Structures are given as structure tokens and as C-alpha cells.
Structure 1
Amino acid sequence: MNAILLMLMGLGAMALGYFVYSKFICEKIFKVDPNFRTPAHEMQDGVDYVPTNKYILWGHHFTSVAGAAPIIGPAIAVIWGWVPAFLWVVFGTIFFAGVHDAGAIWASSRNKAKSIGALTGDIVGNRARSIFMIVIFLVLLMVNAVFAVVIANQLISFPSATVPVWGAIIVALIIGQLIYRKLIGLLMVTIIGVVALYAMIYAGPMFPLALPESVMGLSDRQGWIILLFVYAAIASLLPVWALLQPRDYINGIQLFIGLGLLYAAVIFASPDIVAPAFNTDVPEGTPSLIPLLFVTIACGAISGFHGLVASGTTSKQLDKEPDVRFVGYFGAIGEGSLALAAIIAATAGFATLADWQAIYHSFGQGGVGAFIRGGANILQDGIGLDAVLAQTLLTVMVVLFAGTTMDTGLRLQRYIFQEWGSIYNVGWMQKAAPATLLAVGSCLLLAFGAGGDGSGGMMIWPLFGTTNQLLAGLTLLVITVMLVKLGRPMWYTLAPLIFLLTMTTLGLLIQLKSFYDKGDWFLFTLDIIILVAAILVILESGSTLNKQIKANKTAKNTA
């Protein structure tokens, strides 16, 4: 099959989802109100609560939720064949991710921009909230610790990406001042930012920069990880308009240009997909397609991390409630298009089936490397881009998205510690600086305490997919309960919720057996904790949902 046909089918279906399905969900189910006073206006403080242009806010939301995961997951999952990965990305984006992301922003905005964890306490109950926040903390811990390793590895492998990756921070700081102080219009700011960023991408191969292999006893990977967390800590304390918003916005524009170049190269190169549609000869040790496909591809189909961003930072910047559709649902469409590009690069970016099989020789292979290698081949064949420049462009895309996710993730982790401080009346923990130090400290403790070389986060990464999808299911559960309380139709969130919780629970059970067989007692214990937490929250939420449905029927009968 030709990759052009796959691209057109995928993008066409997602466009239809946005123009038709998202309009129905936002107008008929969520009933967004243009006159509703959002928390960004009601609680404006110039730091976290800032009314924001919907295009800039879309850039923040999209790049924060994208990260490297919509590349890694699909580029691993094609080992089962490109058809299952393609179908889950397309239908997951339209009926799961878009509804989940827009719903989380809407639900949070309607409740003073509270996080999904805090909302659980208000809507379901305090016991569910306590358990939910532990799951949230684990997801953030995994994301922050692992993405730091991903970025460090890419900067070591591709030193040509160092200049554009760190230079993008300077560009974002300048853009933040230009936008906030309204010195020039948004269009001109966008042009300046994009030109500056791509000039640095072009210059990157000319000025490759790398850390020394050892400095003060630290390896280059350890050095990069520490620098990344120092940066992320500073970024998480700055006002959102100063760095977070402009960095995310310009990265969002950069991604769409990068995706445009990649999709244009697909049209001109017209590559055939060499990977099998359904792989009946998977390598030994590859787990079953069902349910593992639905937890291997999280970002790009549906991801619980999106709910954390939607209710943690995005809802605090929502200018008008109807912006929920563009920011949340279209943000999910953007990520779905990135996941689709990853599938194409990882299946059509190789000359022969044998070349593809050489990469996918065991489960877990592929990922970022397959995306960069396959995508660079398509860019080179399609639009004649130099091989090193093509690799630099794609590496910068991966690293910048992982970096913006770290920025937001660490800020969200700081919010978690502050919420715990508020819940348990620990005054000093409610302050931004101490909470940030706790967030950074917990990530570094995992990275260096468990891994020694800074890659300790990788140790619990096998549980990320299931934990993340569990979080997405629980977020849909909170939205569903809220809809029932408002007397709105619930099946548009309840159906994906049931499917997701079923697949995630099966995934946790399969992983439990795998950890037991390997004698990995740490992950075995952590898996049990997550599984028990899931069951408790599901039971608590199910009880609340059932009571509310009965209350609605009683009220209807007595009316």
C-alpha cells in the first residue's frame, strides 16, 4: 500500500471528526457558553491565571501534551502491523482523545480551574481523590524522569540539535515579551519566531555542541539531565506568559511546519509501506495485540497525561469557554496527526521489509530512532533535504516537544505538592519554591537513586502505558459523573471509559504475570498498588454514578 493513501485517509477522518463530531460534543453535550466567566478572568494573577489568545493557548496545550510519546508509542506498536496502529490512532483521536481533552478543560474551567485530582474530591469523594492523586503523581514522576533521559540521549546522539534546542528557549523569552507587552502583532511575532528557530536548525549541523564525556565525575548523560531539571525548575516558577506560553506556541507552529514538510515529502516520494498490515510473524516475546496495543499507543490516541495538562495549566488560561473546542479537541487532532506521521515514517521510511525487520527484531524496538531514521529517508527522497539536516530537523522536533512536556509536567508536579500541602495543612509545602524543589528532588531521586547513571526513570517506564491509560479512564469517569449531575447525555464519555478501563485492567494483569515470571518484585509490587488503586477508585466512582442516576430518576418522577 502507498503511504499517500494512508496519509489522506487518516488526515481526512480526523478533519471530519473536528468539523462535525467536536462541534456536536461541545455544543450539545458540554454546552459551552460564550458568556461564562472563566477562571482566567475571575482569578487572574498574572502568573498562572492569565486569559490567553486561543491560538497561543492551543500551542501551549498541544505541545505540552505531545512530547515524545505520540512518536514513541506508534513507532513501537507497528510491530503488530500498521493497520491496528493506524485504526487505534485515528478512531482513538476522534472518539476518545478529543472528547477527553476538551472535556477535562471544560470540567476544570467550570470548577475554578481545579486539577482533575481535586475535582475527584468534589465530584466523587475524598477517598477517591487521595488515591487518584497518587496515580497522578506516579504518572508525572514517570514522564518527567523519562523524558529527561530521552532528551539527554538525543542530544548525545545528535549534537547538531544542541544549538536549536537551547536557542529555542532564548527565542521564546523574547517572543513572550513581544506578545505580553503587545509591542508587535501576533502574525509578525510568529514569523520572527519561526525564522529564528529554523535558522538555528540550519546552523545546528555547522556548530555541533556536546558535553564532555566526564565532568566532576558525571557522565555527559548525567550532566544533561541535571541541566534539564535546573532549567525546568526555573521555567515552572516563571509566569506562564514569560516562557511557557511562547515556547509552546512557537514549538506548535514549528511542529506543523515540520509535519507539513514530512507529509509533503510523502507526496513527492510516494513511498510504499514495507511493514506488514498485520504482522503474523512477530518476534519471540512480543505480547498479545489485545490489550497491549491500547496501552502502548497512549498519546496519539488518548492519554491521561492530557487531562493533567488540561485541568492543571490550560484551564487557568482559557479566555472564553467556546475555545475549549479549538484548544482541547483540535489539540488532540494535532497529536493524532503526529502519531500518524510516526506510523508512516516507521513503516514506509525503509527500503525493504528486511530493513524494517532488522529494526523490529524484538518488542520495544523502533520508537524515536525508527521515526528519525525513516522520516529522514522520506525527507531526503521526497524534497531532497540533506540527510544530516533532515535528522537534525526531526531530532529537534522530538526534543523540543519532550522539553515542553517537562516544563509543564514539572509545574503540574509542583501543583500536586501544593495541593497536598493544602489538604494536610502543611504551610511551607503550599509555597511555589519549596514545592518545586520537592518535585525536582523526587524526579532526581528516581533518576539517580534507581539508575545510578540518571536513567532510573526507565525502570518504572514499563508501567507508564497502563498507569497513563488508567488515569485517562478515571478522568473520563469524573467528566461522566459531572454530566450525569447536570442531566446531560453520558454515553459519549461512558462508552470510551468502559473500553479504556477494560483494556487497562487486562494490561495490568498481563504485566503482573510478566513481572512475576521475571522475578521483578519492585514492578510487581508497584503494579499491584496501581491495580488496587484503580479498583478502589472505580468502585467509589461507580457508586457515586449509580446514586446520581437514581437521584435523577427520582427527581424526574416527582416533577
Structure 2
Amino acid sequence: MSSPLLALIGIAMMVLGYLFYSKFLVKHIFKLDSSIPTPAHTRKDGIDYVPTNMYVLWGHHFTSVAGAAPIVGPAVAVIWGWLPAFLWVTLGTVFFAGMHDMGALWASVRNKGHSIGTLSGRYIGNRGRNLFLVVIFLLLLMVNAAFAVVISKLLVGTPTAVIPTWGAILVALVVGQAIYRWKLPLVWVSIIGVVALYALIILGDQFPVVLPETVMGLSAASFWVLVLFVYAGVASVLPVWMLLQPRDYINGLQLFVGLGILYISVLIASPTIVAPAINTAVPDGTPSMLPLLFVTIACGAISGFHGVVASGTSAKQLNKESDARFVGYFGAVGEGLLALGAIIAATAGFKTLADWENVYSAFNQGGVGAFVEGGGAILNAGLGLPVSLSATILATMAVLFAATTMDTGIRLQRFVVQEAAEIMGIKVGKFVATIVVLIVGMGLAFGAGADGSGGMVIWPLFGTTNQLLAGLTLAIIAVILLQKRRNVVPVLIPLVFVLLMSVYAAVVQLGAFYATQNWLLLALDIIILIAALWVIVESVIAMNKARTAPPTSDEDDRVTELEDEPAAR
């Protein structure tokens, strides 16, 4: 199979999805209305609620939701062959992810910017909300702890990525000041920011930063984990315009340039995909493709984490409701393009089938390493970039994706802690909540793994938990649409499919964890499965009630939002 042909087919499908299907959703399903004031205006506080330029917000949303998962998932899932992964990424992006992400944004914006956990209380019930928060908290714990481990390993394994990784923070701080304080034109700020980031990549390639074996009594990887948590904690309490938003925006531009370089290299080098379309000779111990494919590739097809980000931070910054199409749906397209690039890099970046099989000799192999190795070979063959610089570019892409997700994840987990405390009648400030989040995250990283790798202990449950959350988020969207007497079929089909696959996967994993006597994962899997099934039952009840209850209208939403205007002023 020709990799340029596969790339062109995949890109065309996603572009057509944005041009046509997203318009259908905007006009007939969600009926986005820019005359209804958004929470960014009615609840404006300069910290979390900040009206934001559509392109800047897209950068924040895209890089926050992407992380390392759309690289890791597809680069692992090609063990079953490139065709199933390709179909799930492209069709999932067009019909599942774009609708899910835009719908979560719309639902939150119509409800004062409240998180998806809070919305579950309003539309499903208090029991559903409490169980929903449990699932969200565990998902964010997995993301924050595991991504810290992924980043630390990349910084140790690719020391040329250290300077651009940390230099990006300084660039972001300057970009934030340039946009909001100095009011400089966004185009020039964007160009200079991207040039600065790529200059840091070249500098990093020339001056790798290799830490000694032990730093402050910790291994190099453990030291980076500690630094990452401290940084993310500080970033999570700063106003979004100061660091989080500009960092995500400029990283988003840099990462899209990186993706462009990768796809151009594919077109020029035209490498052949050496992996089989459907792999019938998987290594011993590889689990069944059904249902594991649909939870191994979560980000890049559909992801519950996106709904948490959309309702947790992005909805609070949406300048007008119509921007949800570009921010939400096109944000999902951006992630789909990254996942497609990961599939091509991990299947066409090797000279022979034997070379590919050597990397994919066991299910736990592949992943980021295959992406960096295969993608680096394609950049070298296509554009003639040195192997070291190619690896630095791709490793920096992976690190910055994961780091921006971790920034947002810590902030979102802080929101969950505050919401849970409020339910118990306790008022917790953002600093105390952030400290709790950091203690829990680092407790997992260092408690379950003395070398700081404990974040990976519960990672096998990430995909299943993530997809369960996506299904539950779609259930909330379905309830809202039923209340408004709108067509709910475009939501119900993905809802049923995702819930079936994720529950099936959770049950399969129960057997695997029991067989290996992994009692921690077994217990967590049981908790997550019970919580999810309970919320599903509550959701079905809520949908039936919504069908017979008096319909609501957009005018009701307009009144709800306007109630906040006097306080905001």
C-alpha cells in the first residue's frame, strides 16, 4: 500500500467531514446561536472565564486534548494491521469525535460553562453526578501521572528535546503578554513564536541536556517527573491567558507545522507501508482486536477526555457560540490528522516487514518509540533532514503534546476536587485543591513505582475508562437534545457503539487482570465498570423522562445566561 495514497484518502475524508457533516450538525442538531451570550462574557473573571480569539482557543483546545495518546494508541494498535486502525481513526473522527467535542462545548456553554460532571447532576441526577465525578477523577489521575512518565522517558531518551521543551514555556509567556497586554497583531506574534520554537529545536539538537544518573537522590527520570508536577501545579493556578492558553496556541501552530513536515516527507519519499493491512500473525499473548482496538485508539477517534477539556476550560473561553464548530470539530480533525500520521510513521517508516515485525514482536512494544523511529526515517528520506534532528522534531512534538495535556489535566482535576468538596458542603480554594491533586498524582507516580514510573500502573485502564466517559458524555448531550425535541440519531449511534465496545473491553480486562492476579487493576476496573453501568441506567431513565417532559427552547438558555450578566459586570 502506498503511504501517500493512504494519507490523501485520510486527509480528504476528514476535510470533507469538517466542510459538510459539521455544518449539518451546526444547522440541524446543535443549532449554534451566536446571539446567546457565552459564559466567557457573562461570567468573565480574567482567570478562567476569558473571551478568546477563535484561533487562539483552537490552539489551546487542540493541544490540550491531543497529548501523547493519539500517537501512542494508533502506534500500538497497528499490531492488528494498518487497515482497522485507519478506518477507526478516519470514520471515528468524522462521525464520532467531531460531534462529541462540539456537542460537549455546546452543552457546557448553554449551562454557564459548567463541567460535564456538573451537567450530569442536572440532566441525569445526583447519583449519576457523583459516580460521574469518580470516573472523571480516575481518568484525570491516569492522564496526569502517566503523561508525566511518558514525558520524563522522552526527555531522558532524547536529551536533544530538553531545551525546546522548557524553552517553549518562556516563548508562551512572551506570546501571552504580546497578545493580551501589548495588543500586537496575532499574525506576527504567531509567526515569531513558531520561528522561536523551531530555533529552540535546532539549538536543542546541537546542545543535548543529559542529567547525571542521580539528581537530589532521584534517578534522572524521577527528577523530571517531580519537576513536571511542580510546573503543572504552578501553571494550573495562573490566569489562562498568561501561560496555559498562549502555550497551547503556539504549540498547536508548531505541532501543525511538524505534522505538515511529516506529511510532505511522506509525499516526497513515498515510502511503502510494510505492515500488513490485517495482521493474521500477531505475537503470542496479543489480545483480540475486538473490542480492544476501540479502546486502544481512543484519542484520535473519540475520547471522553475531550469532553472534560471542552466543558472544563474551553467552554469558559468561547467568545461566541458559533466558534464551537472550529474549536470543537476542527480540534478533533487536528487530532485525527495526528493519529493518521502516527499510523503511517509506525507502518511505513521501516524498510522491510521483518524490521516492522522486530519492533512489534510483543503487544507492549511500538508506541511513541515506533513513531519517533519510523517518522524520523521518513523525514530523513523525504527532506534529507539529519536523523538526529528528525528525532528531535518528533520527540519534541510528542513531549509538547503530552505537556500541554498535563497542564490542562491538573487544572481540570483541581476543578473536580472543588466540585466534589462543594457536594460535601466544604469550600476548597484553588491552591488547596491543586495541592491535593499534586499529592495524589505524585503519590501514584512514586508510591506505586519508586522510580517515578507508578503512573503507568493504572494506564491499562485508560482506554476503557476514557471511552466509557465518552459514552456517558454523549448520553448527557442526548438528554439535552431530547428535551429540545431535536434529532438525536447522530448522537445515539455513536453512544450505543462506544458504550458497547467499552463495557465489553472492561469485562475482557476483568478476566485478564484476574488471570494475572493484578488485584489493584482488578479492583479499579470493577469500580469503574459498576459506576459506568449505574450511570448508563440513570441515563436511560433520564432520556425517557426527557422525551415526555415539556420541551425547552433556546430562549430558555438565553434567559439562563443573561441572569449572570449583572453579577459579571
When the two structures are superposed, what TM-score results if normalisation uses the length of structure 2?
0.96
Query: Offset at 1:182?
Result: 3.8
Q: Does 1:381 align with 2:377?
A: no
Deviations 1:167-196 (A, max 9, x none): 000000000000001431000000110110
Q: Which residue of 2 aligns with 1:448?
A: 446
Segments of 5+ residues of structure 2 without an aligned counterpart are 552-569
Instruction: Write the letter of the residue equivalent to 1:251.
Output: N
Q: Is the 8 A contact 1:211 1:223 kept in 2?
A: no
Distance 2:216 2:276 in 1: 49
Distance 1:241 1:212 in 2: 36
Aligned pairs for 1:27-176 (under 5 A) are 27-176=27-176
Q: Which residue of 2 aligns with 1:404?
A: 404
Instruction: Write the letter of the residue equivalent to 2:138.
Output: L
Distance 1:464 1:481 in 2: 26
Instruction: Write the letter of the residue equivalent to 1:68.
Output: A
Q: Is the 8 A contact 1:66 1:335 kept in 2?
A: yes
Distance 1:488 1:211 in 2: 58
Distance 1:166 1:213 in 2: 20
Q: Which residue of 2 aligns with 1:548?
A: 546
Query: Offset at 1:515?
Result: 0.7
Deviations 1:57-95 (A, max 9, x none): 000000000000000000000000000000000000000
Query: Offset at 1:550?
Result: 3.3
Distance 2:37 2:216 in 1: 53
Q: Which residue of 2 aligns with 1:557?
A: none
Distance 1:549 1:208 in 2: 61
Q: Is the 8 A contact 1:155 1:161 kept in 2?
A: yes
Distance 1:420 1:514 in 2: 32
Q: Which residue of 1 aligns with 2:226?
A: 226
Instruction: Write the letter of the residue equivalent to 2:49.
Output: Y
Q: Which residue of 1 aligns with 2:564?
A: none
Distance 1:293 1:183 in 2: 46
Deviations 1:26-49 (A, max 9, x none): 121000001110000000000000
Q: Which residue of 2 aligns with 1:463?
A: 461
Q: Is the 8 A contact 2:59 2:251 kept in 1?
A: yes
Q: 2:489 aligns with which of 488, 491, 507?
A: 491
Shift >3 Å, 4+ stretches: 550-553
Q: Is the 8 A contact 1:275 1:353 kept in 2?
A: yes
Q: Is the 8 A contact 2:483 2:549 kept in 1?
A: no
Q: Which residue of 1 aligns with 2:356?
A: 356
Aligned pairs for 1:529-540 (under 5 A) are 529-540=527-538
Instruction: Write the letter of the residue equivalent to 2:548.
Output: K
Deviations 1:311-339 (A, max 9, x none): 00000000000000000000000000000
Deviations 1:194-227 (A, max 9, x none): 1100001011121111222112321111110110
Q: Which residue of 1 aligns with 2:566?
A: none
Q: Which residue of 1 aligns with 2:433?
A: 435
Query: Offset at 1:347?
Result: 0.3
Q: Percent identity?
A: 62
Query: Offset at 1:261?
Result: 0.5
Distance 2:205 2:4 in 1: 30
Query: Offset at 1:552?
Result: 6.1
Q: Which residue of 2 aligns with 1:335?
A: 335
Instruction: Write the letter of the residue equivalent to 2:197.
Output: L
Query: Offset at 1:445?
Result: 0.7
Aligned pairs for 1:146-295 (under 5 A) are 146-295=146-295
Q: Which residue of 2 aligns with 1:477?
A: 475
Query: Offset at 1:111?
Result: 0.1
Distance 1:451 1:71 in 2: 24
Q: Which residue of 1 aligns with 2:508?
A: 510
What number of residue pairs does the alignment pair up? 551
Query: Offset at 1:452?
Result: 1.3
Q: Is the 8 A contact 1:487 1:552 kept in 2?
A: no
Task: Classify the secondary structure of the residue corresponding to 1:111.
Answer: coil
Distance 1:333 1:273 in 2: 23
Distance 1:396 1:205 in 2: 11
Q: Is the 8 A contact 1:139 1:464 kept in 2?
A: yes
When the two structures are superposed, what TM-score results if normalisation uses the length of structure 1?
0.98
Instruction: Write the letter of the residue equivalent to 2:247.
Output: R
Distance 1:173 1:216 in 2: 28
Query: Offset at 1:522?
Result: 1.4
Task: Classify the secondary structure of the residue corresponding to 1:167.
Answer: helix
Deviations 1:251-306 (A, max 9, x none): 11011100110000001101000000000000011111110000000000000000
Distance 1:216 1:546 in 2: 59
Q: Is the 8 A contact 2:235 2:407 kept in 1?
A: yes
Task: Classify the secondary structure of the residue corresponding to 2:448.
Answer: helix
Distance 1:151 1:215 in 2: 17
Instruction: Write the letter of the residue equivalent to 2:502.
Output: T
User: Which shifted more, 208-217 or 251-260?
Assistant: 208-217
Task: Classify the secondary structure of the residue corresponding to 1:421.
Answer: helix
Query: Offset at 1:364?
Result: 2.2
Distance 2:534 2:365 in 1: 35
Deviations 1:93-129 (A, max 9, x none): 0000000000000000000000000000011100000
CA RMSD in angstroms comes to 0.8
Deviations 1:491-511 (A, max 9, x none): 111110000000001100100
Task: Classify the secondary structure of the residue corresponding to 1:451.
Answer: coil
Q: Which residue of 2 aligns with 1:325?
A: 325
